[in-house]
A = this chain, B = another copy of it.
Amino acid sequence: MTNLHDEEQHPAFVGLSTYLHLPFARDFDELKASGADIAILGAPVDMGVVYRPGTRFGPRAIREASYLTASRTLYHLGLDVDPLQYMKVVDFGDANCPPSDLQLSHDAVKAKVAEALEAGTLPIVLGGDHSITLPSATAVADKYGHGNVGIVHFDAHADTGESGYGGVLIAHGNPMRRLIESGAVPGKNFVQVGLRGYWPPKETFDWMLEQGMRWHLMSEIETRGFDDVITDAISEALDGAEHLYLSVDIDVADPGFAPGTGTPEPGGLTARELLRAIRRIVGSEVHLVAMDIVEVSPPYDSAGITAQLAHRVVLEAISALARKKADAAGE
């Protein structure tokens, strides 16, 4: 493995931008040899969006968001743990996604995630638009068994559309439906959190109900309180499955906290709520095996705060894993 950055302390703006300036594994062999627990990888895709594009630059922006680098100590104040002491994290680069062909891009994402899994790591995929959850979660289900992986899905939108404009089947509005149809992830293993707005239509929710999907609208969250909803979500998440895939569309956060996204939907989570929920879910008894954070669109993110929030979603998850490991070790 190529260890690009770890030999000395340097500020965020110095050097190539791997995630947190962590070591870079250029291929499967390097990744495997690294003994990494977690592989960060990018899925620079935006051909699936129906409105504002730009997420192809999302992985780069998230990588560059940090003002701290792994060559300095990272210490999670709230969890009292250094995440990188317990979790070895490596940057595995990007899937080579050709622009102008969404299917080829998905093939590349699926292959890259499969490689990360094969190397024994937990892949964290930096999107890209939400269509990439289709190849990413498929690769995960292929590894751990169709029907054996649950998905907790944070999003303003259910992404279970039958088809998009022009009858398009593969786009950022329908990856969850495709996953159910293929059998990779049965409907009963989905829990969606943060839905709001005016889409999809009622017929789609009827279909979702038939599939056994569970979801929690923002209106429920406002009425019942977010902590209770998350408690439910954790208990609903697996339903017979052994493993968890966590998919976070940054537009689950209110546009005030995440303006740089393609289809912003006012009335969402605060950054505090989102980060707390990530910590609770990942820190619970569930067995996280993969994760994605999608829909960061840098051209609409003038102050970079959306990329910052996405970066924290990733790092909170890693920290929660580290905390669990430390607890298990009695530390």
Closest to A129 in B: B100
Residues of B within 8 A of A97 (CB): 11, 14
Report whether B257 and A270 are in contact in the complex, using a CB–CB cutoff of 8 Å: no
Check B51 against A11 for contact (C-beta < 8 Å): yes
Confirm or deny: A254 has a beta carbon within 8 angstroms of a beta carbon on chain B.
yes
Q: In chain A between 1 and 33, which residues have their CB closer than 8 angstroms to a CB of chain B?
A: 2-4, 8-18, 24, 26
Please tell me which one of the listed residues B67, B199, B254 contacts residue A263 in the complex, with CB atoms under 8 A apart. Answer: B67
Interface residues on chain A, number (Cβ under 8 Å)? 107
Contact, CB under 8 Å: B77 / A11? no
Given that A198-B77, A308-B266 are known contacts, is A166 also in contact with B272, CB under 8 Å in the complex? no
Most B C-beta atoms less than 10 A away, residue of A104, A263, A264: A264
Looking at the assembled complex, report how far the CB atom of A100 sits from the nearest CB atom of chain B, in whole angstroms.
4
Knowing A168-B98, A171-B99, say if A52 contacts B299 (CB, 8 Å): yes
- Is B10 touching A26 in the complex (CB atoms < 8 A)? no
How many whole Å from A154's CB to the nearest CB in chain B?
A: 15
Q: Verify if A224 is at the interface (C-beta below 8 Å from B).
A: no
Contacts of A15 in B (CB 8 A): 93-94, 96
Specify how many copies of this chain sit in the oligomer: 6
A266 in complex: contacting residue of B11, B104, B312, CB < 8 Å: B312
- One digit per residue, 1 when the CB lies within 8 angstroms of any chain B CB and 0 when it does not, for chain A 166-185 equals 11101110000000000000
Cα–Cα distance between A238 and B102 once the two chains are bound (Å): 38
Task: Kindly list chain B residues whose C-beta atoms are within 8 Å of the C-beta of A198.
Answer: 68, 74-77, 83, 315, 319
Could you tell me if A218 and B78 are in contact, using CB atoms closer than 8 angstroms?
A: yes
Does any Cβ of B come within 8 Å of A219's Cβ?
yes
A selection of 19 A-B contacts at a CB cut-off of 8 Å is: A2-B4, A3-B26, A4-B26, A14-B97, A16-B93, A52-B299, A75-B200, A82-B202, A100-B102, A100-B168, A255-B271, A255-B305, A255-B309, A260-B303, A264-B303, A264-B304, A266-B271, A299-B300, A301-B303
Q: State the A residues within 8 Å of B (CB).
A: 2-4, 8-18, 24, 26, 42, 44, 46-54, 56-57, 60, 64, 67-68, 72-78, 80, 82-83, 93-102, 104, 131, 164-168, 170-172, 195-203, 205, 217-219, 222, 254-257, 259-260, 262-268, 270-272, 275-276, 299-305, 308-309, 312, 315, 319
The 8 lowest CB-CB distance pairs between A and B, nearest first, are A98-B166, A259-B303, A78-B219, A73-B201, A51-B67, A98-B165, A53-B53, A255-B305
